Amino acid sequence: MKKNYFKSLMQVSLLLGAAFVISSCDDVIGQEDNPVASYVQWKAKTPAEVTLKIGNTYTVQATAVSSAIIVYESEKPEIAKVDPVTGEITAVAVGETNINAVVTGISTTGQSVFTPEKVSIKVIVKDGKASLTRAKDAVIEYTANKDSIIDLSKLFTAYPEATTSGETDKSTVTYSVKILNKAATTADKYETYSDPTKLGSKTATSTFKVGPEIEKKNYNKAICDTLYVIGQITSTNGSEYTMPTGTTAADLDIVMDTVKVIINKSIAYMNEKNERTILTADKYTTFTDAKAAEGWDGTLKAGTYFADAYLGISNPKISGNVSIIIPNNKIWNYNALDDAKDGSTLNFFRQANVKDGMGADLPVGIMRFRGAANVITNFKAINLYGGTIEFYNTIAAVGEINVYNDAKLTTYQSDYGSYSSGKIQLKDGGKLTVAGGTVDIIGWGTDLKTGFAVIGDVEVSKGVFTASNSEYRAVSGNLTAGGKILIKESNDGNTWTALEGATSTSKYIKAQDKSDTWK
């Protein structure tokens, strides 16, 4: 009895195992009524396209599930044919076609068990002569600053490709640069620069720097200038390709071409995210341009202004939302800025880094307000994204002030005039938010309503905030910080008390985010 029982168990086990094997095989090779993917793909490092000379060959190989049948096909065999089994491509005539690796769905056993699939590679067939073609667009715009670099190789496509180290049968491409000579009256209105240390002609290299030479031609006084970049294949390595015969420009058209490059006047500045951003001349106005505008009444209307020169008026008005880009290595002194409409937003940015003659970054620019009365008044909001703002007396009746990135807002420390310190007075419910940079305010006076460095709430989430008043208190509203707040009650000693957020009743306040360490 027991013997028959165990025999029955063994038979059931064998049947279950066979069923599992059959089910597993169906999942791999599929059935005619349930085909599966063949996972066809090109072998690693197969390019998306290949260029061949007529008569040359190139072999491709694809992989798929081992039981799948792969067949190679050409969509235009009159351009390039391919061996259906080996994948060897032979270039036949000038043109373009696709070579496909196709799985028709049939397995090596002759069953239709796979979903038909294919992958493709583009084949370009050329004759045996070298050629050079320019970019599709004849006019390419570059935004130029002193440190701008133009990549000439992107303006042309060479066949065969330009030489790189260790490669053969490639082209040697040279580039030269010509700049438009607006004063010329002859037929040839552009001139060539041959000194490679300047803007000029660059051979055997693919880049040049837009630098002092273009400035000598009053580039900064014009909206744009024009360069003519000439590319030429001067030789080919190996014996695969030949140069066209002839020596005249007409004979060399096939290996020489010219691209016209428009260079826009522009500035580079650090935007809200502290990222370098290019602004072309049609997107901003210089202060001197504003002054020269017909009928100008001293009001900066809504828009973006670059303070590249002194505005020439000590109390400019603001009408609408205005952004001011502060140039490097300059200090401009103004009495005051006033919001003529009492509801505008004022934004300050800094110019992106510019190198001096020794290669060092020029200092960040400063806008200084030193009026005998309130110096910045009536704005809905002031946003400092970069640069330094120094002020005397009071930034008054402002809804909110926000400091970001590496901007600096500070009381101007000097013996100029009657004042040696200033303060911030926000509207009711206003707030000073320090989300980066540095804020250092020194108040003055003992008046119970106005004798504070900051009148209003202060919130520090990132950056450094310092406020003090040797005669009275530092902050009249709530002072909170993501890190610690340090309070010192007198001028004597260097002992500070740390608080994790507070309502200030102290003379001296410091606050900063958690990422910094107090010294």
Strands (E) in 271-341, as ranges, are 276-280, 285-286, 299-306, 317-326, 331-334, 337-339
Q: What is the pLDDT of residue 195?
A: 38
The predicted pLDDT at position 171 comes to 75
pTM of the model: 0.61
User: How much is the pLDDT for 519?
Assistant: 46
The domains of the chain are located at 1-30, 41-126, 131-268, 284-420, 431-519
State the pLDDT at residue 7: 45
Q: In terms of Cα–Cα distance, which of 266, 29, 62, 231 is closest to 146?
A: 266
In this structure, the number of other CB atoms found within 10 A of the CB of residue 415 comes to: 7
Same fold, 41-126 and 131-268: yes
Give the pLDDT score at 245. 56
Q: Side chain identity at 487, as an amino acid letter?
A: I
Residue with tokens 């610690």: 484
Taking CA atoms, 218 is separated from 92, 146, 265, 331, 461, in Å, by 54, 13, 11, 24, 46
Tokens standing for residue 488: 């010192």
pLDDT score for 26? 39
Q: With the CA atoms of 49, 52, 55 and 59 taken in that order, what torsion angle do they form, in degrees rounded to the nearest 10?
A: -40
Q: What is the per-residue pLDDT for 90?
A: 97
What does the pLDDT profile of the chain (519 residues) look like in tens digits?
444 544 444 443 443 443 333 333 433 445 556 788 889 999 988 999 998 889 989 999 999 988 888 999 999 999 999 999 999 999 999 999 999 999 988 877 877 788 889 999 999 998 887 777 877 665 666 666 656 677 777 888 887 777 655 566 677 777 777 766 555 444 445 444 433 333 334 444 677 666 544 444 444 344 456 777 777 777 776 666 776 554 444 444 445 677 777 777 788 899 999 998 888 888 898 887 777 666 677 888 899 999 887 777 778 889 899 999 999 888 888 888 888 777 899 999 999 886 655 667 788 999 998 877 788 999 999 999 999 999 988 898 899 999 999 999 998 765 544 455 688 999 988 999 999 999 999 887 777 777 888 999 999 988 889 888 877 788 888 888 877 788 876 655 566 766 655 566 678 888 877 655 554
DSSP state of 364: P
Amino acid identity of residue 159, one-letter, is Y
* Contact by Cβ (8 Å): 511, 465: yes
Q: Which CATH architecture has domain 41-126?
A: Sandwich (2.60)
Torsion of CA 381, 386, 390, 395, to 10 degrees: 10
Residues composing the chain: 519
Residue 244: per-residue pLDDT: 59
Q: What is the pLDDT of residue 28?
A: 46
Q: How high is the pLDDT of residue 334?
A: 87
Task: With CA atoms as reference, report the closest residue to 87 among 105, 99, 104.
Answer: 99
- Report CA-CA distances (Å) from 134 to 3, 43, 229, 242, 471: 88, 33, 10, 20, 72
Give the chain's count of helices (H) and strands (E): 3, 40
In words, the CATH class of domain 131-268 is mainly beta
